[in-house]
Structure 1
Amino acid sequence: MSGAPQQGMRSAFRRWRAARPFWGGLLLALGGAEILLSVRASLKVILHVGMQGLAGYLLPTLMLVLGLLIIFSPAQRLFYSITGVMLSLGTWVTSNLGGFFVGLMLGVAGSCMAFGWLPDQEPRRSRRQRRREAREAKAAHPVPPGPEPA
């Protein structure tokens, strides 16, 4: 009985998710969260590299915010994703080697996915495929023979 509304909600979420660079934004946000957690690790685990002050918390927080902005405001995804890559690379110096490489890689991969995401459009066709389709269209609708020019 409760399966039908749940199925409707699931399909609505899928449609919403397909209209935006969801996975790229999610990976960027997860990368920022992972770096924030690694900054808060115990002193035995933390590698103190570079500036450990405000930048160690600011960059991953901004990565988390940019990931959410990519998800909820996909029209601005190019700016957010470029900024996300730069912030992710900046965490190499400021936040324990980018959260021990994991957060850094999640942030860069998510930003690249968001940058490369395109809204729904026709799939690209190769030149060979376009020629083949033109030949098939020509064969399906042959030109009727007309009077020969004199």
Structure 2
Amino acid sequence: MSSATVETRPRQQNPVGWLWRRFREFRRTRPFWGGLLAMIAGAPILYFPYAHLSLGGLTIAMSTTAGAGSLIIGVLMIILGLTAWFQPAVRFFAGVATILLTLVSIPVSNLAGFGLALLPGLIGGGLMVSWAPLPEPATEPAKGRRARRAKQVDNPIAQRVAAEPAATEPAKAEAVEAPTAKLPAQGAPKEPAAEPAVPQQPTAGEQEEAR
């Protein structure tokens, strides 16, 4: 079988590559790392007041009277992280609220989850406040230019309109280069007109000879 008769198979799209591209676009268009750190900081604040640790045969319950406050702070920080992901327009408010809740959790929720939520909460709030979207490129993408050129090639009317200016340009150039008649300049001095010849009178000797 020759290579001319071989049928080309359609290119199969890699699902892993497609997911990675979608995730990269999602990550670049929002404060991703700030929201992630805010949710990570809310997890220990929410967990430790309701955790039960067992040391050998001894069970230690860490629940205190601040359990309700820790629950509210942890849930709010997770919600703020998700809000920064899916509503980037309110990222400034979400970042400031995350920083304030992290500071409030120090006296309320076991020293901000035994210090595990302190740094992630402060850093995540700062990243959300300082994040800004990328500026849009001013140039037209290559695909758009190619599509426009393809439309002009397929459209005979566009070809005719594009050819008319090119045809008129040589005619304009010839008209500019053509010599023009020289006209007398205004205000130039006129040449003096020729005076009529005055007949000379005969002298006295000539008159006597004529007599």
Same fold (TM over 0.5): yes
2:79 maps to 1:69:
no
The aligned residue for residue 177 of structure 2 is none
Amino acid of the structure 1 residue aligned with 2:112: G
- In structure 2, which of residues 57, 68, 71 is the aligned counterpart of residue 57 of structure 1? 71
Task: For 2:103, give the aligned amino acid.
Answer: L
Tell me how large the CA RMSD over aligned residues is: 2.3
- Cα offsets for 1:7-51 (capped at 9, x unmatched): 012111101111000010000011101211122223747495xx5
Q: How does 1:7-86 map to 2 (within 5 A)?
A: 7-42=17-52, 44=60, 46=62, 52-86=66-100
2:112 maps to which residue?
Answer: 98
Greater share of helix: 1
1: CA distance between counterparts of 2:61 and 2:45?
13
Taking the aligned partners of 1:2 and 1:108, their CA distance within structure 2 comes to: 45
The amino acid across from 1:108 in the alignment is L
Larger of the two Rg values belongs to structure: 2
Is residue 25–residue 70 contact of structure 1 (8 Å, CA) maintained in 2? yes
CA distance in 1, matches of 2:99, 2:61: 25
CA pair 83-21 structure 1, distance change in 2 beyond 3 A: same
How far apart are residue 3 of structure 1 and its match? 6.8
User: For the residues of structure 1 that align with 2:12 and 2:108, how far apart are their CA atoms?
Assistant: 49
Q: Please give the alpha-carbon distance, in whole angstroms, between the structure 1 residues aligned to 2:119 and 2:61.
A: 19
Q: Percent identity?
A: 35
Which letter maps to 1:106?
P
Counterpart for residue 102 of structure 2: 88
Q: Are the equivalent residues in 1 in contact too, given 2:69–2:108 (CA < 8 A)?
A: yes
User: Which residue is equivalent to 1:115?
Assistant: 129
Q: Matched residues in 1 for 2:52 and 2:76: separation?
A: 23
Deviations 1:90-111 (A, max 9, x none): 1111111100111122111111
After TM superposition, the score normalised by the length of structure 2 is: 0.52
Distance 1:47 1:104, change over 3 A: farther
